[in-house]
Chain A
Amino acid sequence: MGIRKNQKLLSNDERQRFVAAVKQMKAVGLYDQYVQWHLDAMGNMTTDPNFAHQGPAFLPWHREYILLFEQDLQAADKSLGNDGSIGLPYWDWTSETAIDPTTNRLWADDFLGPDGDSSDGQRVQTGPFATNTTPGSENWILAIHDPMDNNPVDFLQRSFGQDPQAPTLSTADQVSNILDLKIYDSSPWDSNVSGTKSFRNALEGWVTVKPAGQQPGMHNRVHVWVGGSMLPMSSPNDPIFFLNHCNVDRIWASWQVLHSAVDQYPPKNGQAQVGHNRDDVMVPWDGRNDPRPGQNGQLPRVTPGDLLNVAPLGYSYDALIGS
Chain B
Amino acid sequence: MASKNLRYKNNRIGVVDVHGQKHLFIEGEHIPAVATGKDRQFISPHLPYQKFATLQDLGKAIVEYRGMDQRKKKK
Contact = CB atoms under 8 A, between A and B. Distances in A.
- Chains A and B form a bound pair: yes
B34 to A, nearest CB: 5
A153 interface: yes
A149 B62 CA distance: 11
Interface stretch (A215-223, A272-280, A307-315): A215-223
A121 B71 CA distance: 5
Interface residues of A, number: 38
Interface string A144-155: 001011111100
A208 to B, nearest CB: 11
A190 B65 CA distance: 26
Contacts of B73: 121
A152 B45 CA distance: 15
A146 B48 CA distance: 11
A273 to B, nearest CB: 13
Contact of A44 (B45, B66, B71): B45
Contacts of B75: 120-121
Contact of A220 (B49, B66, B69, B71): B49
Given A45-B44, A45-B48, A223-B49, A120 B32 contact: no
B36 A192 contact: yes
Interface in A211-235: 215-216, 219-220, 223-224, 228, 231-233, 235
A125 to B, nearest CB: 12
Contact of B48 (A120, A215, A232): A232
Contact of A42 (B47, B48, B68, B72): B48
B47 A231 contact: yes
Contacts of B32: 44-46, 148
Contacts, number: 78
Residue of B33, B45, B73 with most partner-chain A CB within 10 A: B45
B54 interface: no
A123 interface: yes
Given A46-B32, A191-B37, A233 B45 contact: yes
B7 interface: no
Contacts of A190: 36
A215 B51 contact: yes
Nearest to A157: B68
A53 interface: yes
Interface in A174-196: 190-192
A150 B64 CA distance: 15
A247 to B, nearest CB: 15
Interface of A: 42-46, 53, 116, 120-123, 146, 148-153, 157, 159, 163, 165, 190-192, 205-206, 215-216, 219-220, 223-224, 228, 231-233, 235
Interface of B: 29, 32-34, 36-38, 43-51, 61, 64-66, 68-69, 71-73, 75
Identify the 8 closest CB pairs spanning chains A and B, nearest first. Answer: A121-B72, A192-B37, A45-B45, A223-B49, A220-B49, A122-B68, A46-B32, A121-B71
